C-alpha cells in the first residue's frame, strides 16, 4: 500500500501453524513489559482453575520482529509472527519449564526461561472465551503412559456437530458431539506428539485447539 508503513510478515498464510490465514495489525500498543531483549512478563494461574495458565511475553525489538514462540518442556505450543504474545493455556499438573524464543530480522535468536509448578484442579481448565474449544485431556506438557484418552470440551451455546482430530499433522478421526464434549482413545509411539482439533459450529464460527504432550 503506497504511502503506508508496512510490517514484515504482517500477512500470515498459515496463522499459528494452521490452515487459516490472517493479517497482523501493527499499532502503537503499549508493551506488555519493558525488556532489554526478550522477557516473560506474566506466568501465573488465570482465574479459579489452577491448570489454566496465563502466559505473556515481550521482545524489545518490535520493529525488527519476525516471530516469537513459547515452548513447554521443550515442545513448541504457541507461536506468532510478531514481538509479543498474551495467551491462556491449559497445562498439566507438575513441574515445568517455559521457554520463550524471539527472532528478529537483525539479530540471532534471543531466549528466556522460567520454571513453574502447576497444581491439580480436578476440573477441565476450560477457555473463558466463547465460542472456543479446550483439550481437557491430554493437557499440555503431560506425560502419558499407555492409551491416550482424549477429551475436548466446547464452550459454545451451539457446539460443532463434529470435530476433526489430527495428531502430528495427520488426520486421525472425526469426533461426534456429545452435549458439547468429544472423546476418542488411541495408542501412540513413545516420544513427543502434537494434537490439533478443529470444528465449525452451526453459526459458522471456526474453532481450533492444540496440545503438546509426550508418551512414555
The CATH number covering residue 152 comes to 2.60.40.10
Q: Residues 83, 102: contact at Cβ < 8 Å?
A: yes
Q: Which of 95, 118, 141 lies at the terminal end of a domain, its last residue?
A: 118
Residue 4 belongs to a domain:
no
pLDDT band at 2; cut points 50, 70, 90: very low
Q: What is the pLDDT of residue 106?
A: 77
Cα 42 from Cα 57, distance rounded (Å): 7
Q: What is the pLDDT of residue 62?
A: 87
Domain tally for the chain?
Answer: 2
Q: What is the per-residue pLDDT across 176-200, written as a single tens digit (0 to 9) for each?
A: 999 999 999 999 999 999 999 999 9
Is residue 15 over pLDDT 90? no
Q: What is the pLDDT of residue 30?
A: 56
Same domain, 141 and 61: no
Residue 125 belongs to a domain:
no
Same domain, 82 and 144: no
Same domain, 105 and 199: no
pLDDT band at 107; cut points 50, 70, 90: confident
Q: What is the pLDDT of residue 87?
A: 96
Is residue 31 over pLDDT 90? no
Residue 6 belongs to a domain:
no
Sequence-ordered list of residues with C-beta below 8 angstroms from that of 20, at least 6 positions apart, any chain: 14, 206, 208
Kindly report the three-state secondary structure assignment for every residue of the chain: CCCCCCCCCCEECCHHHCCCCEECCCCCCCCCCCCCCEEEEEEEECCCCCCEEEEEEEECCCCCEEEEEEEECCEEEEEECCCEEEEEEEECCEEEEEEEEEEECCCCCEEEEEEEEECCCCCCCCCCCCCEEEEEECCECEEECCCEEEEEEEECCCCCCEEEEEECCEEEEEEECECCEEEEEECCCCEEEEEEEEEECCCCCEEEEEEEEEEC
Residue 94 belongs to a domain:
yes
Q: Which of 61, 83, 118 lies at the terminal end of a domain, its last residue?
A: 118
Residue 5 belongs to a domain:
no
Same domain, 111 and 156: no
Residue 189 belongs to a domain:
yes
> Across residues 56-78, what is the average pLDDT?
94
Same domain, 145 and 69: no
Question: 190: domain range?
Answer: 132-215
Same domain, 114 and 150: no
pTM of the model: 0.84
Cα 79 from Cα 63, distance rounded (Å): 17
Cell of 30: 503499549
> Across residues 69-81, what is the average pLDDT?
97
Is residue 57 over pLDDT 60? yes
Is residue 123 over pLDDT 70? yes
- A 10 A CB-CB count for 14 gives 10
Indicate the average pLDDT of the chain. 90
Q: Which of 87, 118, 149 lies at the terminal end of a domain, its last residue?
A: 118
Q: What is the pLDDT of residue 27?
A: 44
Q: What is the pLDDT of residue 32?
A: 77
CB-based burial of residue 87 (10 Å sphere; 0-12 exposed, 13-18 middle, 19+ buried)? middle
Is residue 143 over pLDDT 50? yes
Comparison of pLDDT for 118 and 15, the residue scoring more = 118
Same domain, 139 and 52: no
Amino acid at each position: 500500500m503506497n504511502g503506508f508503513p508496512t510490517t514484515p510478515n504482517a500477512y500470515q498464510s498459515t496463522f499459528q501453524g494452521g490452515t487459516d490465514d490472517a493479517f497482523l495489525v501493527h499499532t502503537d500498543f503499549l508493551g506488555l513489559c519493558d525488556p532489554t531483549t526478550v522477557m516473560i512478563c506474566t506466568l501465573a494461574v488465570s482465574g479459579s482453575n489452577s491448570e489454566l495458565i496465563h502466559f505473556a511475553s515481550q521482545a524489545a525489538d518490535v520493529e525488527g520482529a519476525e516471530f516469537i514462540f513459547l515452548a513447554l518442556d521443550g515442545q513448541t505450543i504457541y507461536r506468532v509472527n510478531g514481538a509479543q504474545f498474551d495467551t491462556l493455556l491449559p497445562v498439566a499438573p507438575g513441574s515445568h519449564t517455559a521457554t520463550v524464543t524471539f527472532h528478529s530480522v537483525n539479530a540471532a535468536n534471543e531466549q528466556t526461561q522460567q520454571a513453574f509448578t502447576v497444581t491439580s484442579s480436578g476440573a477441565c481448565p476450560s477457555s473463558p472465551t466463547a465460542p472456543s474449544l479446550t483439550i481437557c485431556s491430554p493437557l499440555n506438557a503431560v506425560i502419558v503412559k499407555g492409551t491416550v484418552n482424549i477429551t475436548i470440551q466446547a464452550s459454545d451455546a451451539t457446539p460443532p456437530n463434529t470435530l476433526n482430530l489430527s495428531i502430528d499433522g495427520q488426520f486421525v478421526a472425526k469426533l461426534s458431539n456429545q452435549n458439547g464434549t468429544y472423546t476418542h482413545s488411541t495408542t501412540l509411539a513413545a516420544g513427543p506428539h502434537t494434537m490439533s482439533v478443529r470444528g465449525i459450529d452451526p453459526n459458522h464460527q471456526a474453532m481450533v485447539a492444540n496440545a503438546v504432550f509426550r508418551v512414555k
